[in-house]
């Protein structure tokens, strides 16, 4: 069923848990993720980034509409989120299309701009998105490290984060606590004390980017410390590519893409189910309580 990101985050947050948000690049990603979420009997977010839209020749509607249709026909509650939208014109266009496409949330990413400009642009885009009922995520700008806010060396300052949320009125905040995008091994060391400090002072849900580089055990600890949305992308691509490579290595004469894509998709589904199950069962709630209430209790679009 097509759920809203706000309802999912509220539901998981009420149990001191976090909702997983999985990056979609192709239709196959979306289908495989939905299957994995269904197997885990939980809910999740399908998120499409600005980079993914560019991969689809800058066309927003086809891939987003497909994701929304997959979510609507799924037995699991799944919402649609737009991730890391930086281009101002594209962001405004996406916000205008969101309701028609089944999108219920967006990350407006102005973190590459000087701080004051980040605040102004984020505030204006949040106002525009809120007028359409969207849940809005954002992040602070460069805090340290060669990759700015996405460096594993960067750290979000609690007072600055609290003030940023107050000035921009965003609904969720991505914070720098030791992870980094595109990590291919789970070696990131999160600053759990900082996460707890941020959760205590920032009045909106915290979002962890770069979660593919974080071990299961550390992700569980991060959720216990206060993380409420966990973004996963690279881990799915590693799984998909690995599945395809294994199949082609033993079937070198195959030319029908359906045969090897199927193996790649199954690898994504298994990864999704694993993450949903591990994080859900180990998080601070009663592991015997399923998310069956999600199937009936959440407002759908």
Measured CA to CA, the distance from residue 15 to residue 34 in angstroms comes to 22
**Which token pair is 177?**
């606590």
Choosing from 7, 10, 83, 116, which is the catalytic residue?
83
Note if 83 is an active site residue: yes
- The answer to whether 294 touches 38, Cβ cutoff 8 Å, is no
Cα–Cα distance list, 112 to 11, 121, 143 (Å)? 32, 11, 11
User: Catalytic residue numbers?
Assistant: 83
């Amino acid at each position: 069923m097509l759920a809203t990101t706000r309802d999912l985050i509220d539901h998981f947050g009420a149990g001191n848990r976090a909702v997983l948000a999985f990056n979609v690049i192709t239709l196959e990603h979306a289908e495989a993720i939905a299957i994995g979420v269904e197997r885990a009997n939980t809910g999740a977010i399908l998120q499409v980034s600005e980079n993914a839209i560019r991969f689809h020749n800058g066309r927003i509607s086809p891939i987003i509409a497909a994701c929304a249709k997959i979510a609507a026909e799924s037995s699991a509650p799944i919402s649609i989120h737009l991730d890391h939208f930086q281009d101002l014109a594209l962001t405004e266009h996406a916000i205008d299309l969101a309701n028609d496409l089944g999108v219920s949330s967006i990350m407006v990413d102005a973190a590459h701009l000087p701080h004051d400009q980040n605040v102004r642009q984020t505030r204006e885009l949040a106002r525009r998105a809120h007028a359409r009922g969207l849940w809005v995520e954002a992040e602070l700008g460069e805090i340290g490290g060669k990759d700015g806010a996405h460096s594993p060396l960067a750290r979000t300052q609690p007072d600055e984060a609290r003030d940023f949320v107050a000035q921009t009125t965003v609904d969720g905040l991505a914070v720098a606590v030791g992870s980094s995008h595109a990590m291919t091994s789970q070696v990131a060391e999160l600053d759990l004390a900082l996460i707890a400090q941020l959760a205590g002072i920032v009045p909106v849900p915290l979002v962890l980017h770069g979660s593919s580089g974080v071990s299961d055990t550390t992700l569980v600890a991060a959720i216990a410390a206060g993380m409420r949305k966990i973004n996963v992308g690279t881990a799915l691509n590693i799984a998909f590519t690995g599945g395809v490579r294994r199949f082609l290595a033993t079937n070198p004469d195959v030319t029908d893409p359906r045969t090897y894509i199927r193996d790649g998709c199954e690898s994504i589904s298994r990864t999704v189910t694993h993450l949903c199950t591990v994080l859900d069962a180990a998080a601070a709630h009663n592991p015997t309580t399923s998310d069956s209430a999600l199937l009936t209790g959440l407002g759908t679009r």
